[in-house]
A and B are shown apart, each in its own frame.
Chain A
Amino acid sequence: MSMNCRQIRLGQALGRISRSYYSTEATSHIPSSTTSSLSTEQGSYVAPSPEQLAESRSKIRAGLILSRTPIVTPEVKPFEESYYNYQQELERRLMWTFPKSFYFKKGSMAEHKFNLAQKKPIQSVKGVFYERGIPDIKLGRERRFKQEVVIPLAEEEGADSGSANGADIDSVARRIMPEPRITEADKSNDVASLSRKLDRTLYLIIKQQKTWKFPSFSLEGDVELLHEAAERGLRQIGGTGMNTWTVSSTPTAVIAGTGSIKEFFIKSHILAGQFSAIKSEIEDFAWLTKEELKEKFDKQYYETLEPVISEQ
């Protein structure tokens, strides 16, 4: 087989694909990938003339699937949430008594505050009927139920609850306020913004001649590679203010275009900066999720590339 070194590489890149799918082939190809098969391979391969090369290179286009990876974790589904809740309750129920003496020195003010904050369990008294069974208390804990450890609030916490703004942002004692997962860009549905849909992967698509597509570029010169062309082309249409990382130099998909033109797709991630359309031929651009891409793309185009586009 000719795919020797490629298969090893891809197997590595895919990582989690079932072992049996590629491992036997990959290992069996390792020795041959070094010298022997390549040389025999190239023996049967006739190098094209410069004109033929230029002709064939003009029929190859480098497409770019540029994505912004998720910034926040995916939304927890109702089933997941209830399962996590159940497990947490079970764990709390089976937890050993909180080792108070480990955290608070005996007789200290901190221990006193902690004691005050705790809920006192009902003591068992002889001759009293208890509806939920006779209390079983050891070390101040009702052993039949989960222990609820209440952390006493700091005194100043109530006072400065409203001062989570600018002035004391460097203060160690400031209250931690989590940032919202829904941003301004989400509310205004600004598709050109990179700070929208934080829990999803966004893909860059551009509008040319009234059709939405992933950006694609022709190869320049005699030696430019696919991933080089994709990165170069992106900067030509979107400016240099983008930090991107090409996942691999191997194309991830191919689409046969009109007139024997083949479009090979290279995957890349944007790490910083933004795309700003500087060429007039770009009518519009957008950062969209998978479902939104489905609406924008031509049906066949979407279906061909569907497995490459991440659902999350």
Chain B
Amino acid sequence: MNKFGLSNFVRPSIFRSHCLGSIKTPTSVSTFVRFARTSAKKKNRGELSASQVRQKNLLSAVSGARKVPRKLDMCVEDLIRHNTVTRAWALYQKEIRDKRAQNLERQYRMIDEACDALKSAGDRNLYNKATKREFGKRFPMELRVPTDTPPKIVWQYEWSPEEKEKK
């Protein structure tokens, strides 16, 4: 985010007074210079494979200037709208972040409280083992990351301890 509340993705060109609310295209032509044909002609010196050179030439067959869309010129109202949307999103993200941090803090205090209670509960071995640092603990392979749609078999209901031993 820059000082205008815009992401780097779109930035206003405030330096030009005649287009007050304008947004430049994100890419500049100069970045594509290194893909220019001239370098490919110089006997590929082991930097790129033959197929990579071919792909490079295909992509740079047309100059970048012809592939870039027109600059996005926003009127003042649109720019205000854009800024509002971006700020609202940033605020929304902050709320989520704060809530999560706050909840983690509460959870931390609860663990702390539980450990103190366990310490005074009489069995010191229980406390020592429960607060021992677990090195190299990892998430199990079976734990899956959420996806947009569920798998064909939503849940594996049939499971036996032998299955774990097999692996």
| Chain A residues in the interface with B (C-beta under 8 A) | 2-3, 5-6, 8-10, 12, 14, 16-18, 21-22, 42, 45, 47-48, 52-53, 55-57, 59-60, 69-74, 79-80, 83, 86, 90-91, 93-97, 99, 101-102, 136, 138-139, 141, 143-144, 146-147, 178-181, 183, 194-195, 198-199, 219, 223, 225-227, 240-243, 245, 248-254, 262, 264-265, 269, 271-274, 307-308
Instruction: List chain B residues, Cβ under 8 A from A53.
Output: 122-123
Instruction: List chain B residues, Cβ under 8 A from A198.
Output: 150, 154
CB distance from B165 to the nearest CB of A (A): 12
A143 to B92, CA, bound (A): 33
Of B89, B155, B164, the residue contacting A195 (CB under 8 A) is B155
Contact (A226, B126) CB under 8 Å given A86-B85, A245-B140, A273-B157: yes
Q: Is B134 interfacial (CB 8 A cutoff)?
A: yes
25 example contacts (A-B, Cβ-Cβ < 8 A) are as follows: A3-B112, A5-B131, A9-B133, A10-B111, A14-B107, A17-B108, A59-B121, A71-B155, A93-B72, A94-B69, A97-B68, A139-B62, A143-B68, A194-B157, A198-B154, A219-B126, A223-B125, A227-B130, A240-B160, A245-B142, A253-B113, A264-B118, A271-B140, A273-B160, A307-B103
Sort A-B residue pairs by CB-CB distance and give the 7 closest, nearest first. Answer: A56-B122, A273-B159, A6-B131, A254-B114, A307-B106, A271-B142, A178-B149
Taking residues whose C-beta sits less than 8 angstroms from the other chain, chain B's interface range is 35 or more
Count of chain A to chain B residue pairs whose CB atoms are closer than 8 Å in the complex: 228
A82 to B72, CA, bound (A): 20
CB distance from B135 to the nearest CB of A (A): 10
Q: Is B10 interfacial (CB 8 A cutoff)?
A: yes
Q: Would you call B142 and A56 a contact (CB within 8 A)? A: no
Q: Would you call A71 and B154 a contact (CB within 8 A)? A: yes
Residue of A at shortest CB range from B124?
A45
Instruction: List chain A residues, Cβ under 8 A from B123.
Output: 48, 53, 56-57, 60
Q: Would you call A83 and B118 a contact (CB within 8 A)? A: no
A70 to B148, CA, bound (A): 11
Given contacts A225-B130, A245-B139, 19 further A-B contacts (CB under 8 A): A3-B131, A9-B133, A10-B108, A16-B101, A17-B108, A18-B105, A57-B123, A60-B118, A70-B146, A71-B147, A223-B125, A240-B161, A249-B132, A250-B130, A252-B111, A264-B114, A272-B156, A273-B157, A273-B160
Instruction: List chain B residues, Cβ under 8 A from A47.
Output: 124
A14 to B105, CA, bound (A): 9
Q: Would you call A79 and B124 a contact (CB within 8 A)? A: no
Q: Would you call A308 and B142 a contact (CB within 8 A)? A: no
* Stretch from B13-21, B37-45, B53-61 that touches the partner: B53-61
Instruction: List chain B residues, Cβ under 8 A from A241.
Output: 158-160
CB distance from B51 to the nearest CB of A (A): 12
CB distance from A183 to the nearest CB of B (A): 6
Q: Would you call B150 and A181 a contact (CB within 8 A)? A: yes
Instruction: List chain A residues, Cβ under 8 A from B85.
Output: 83, 86
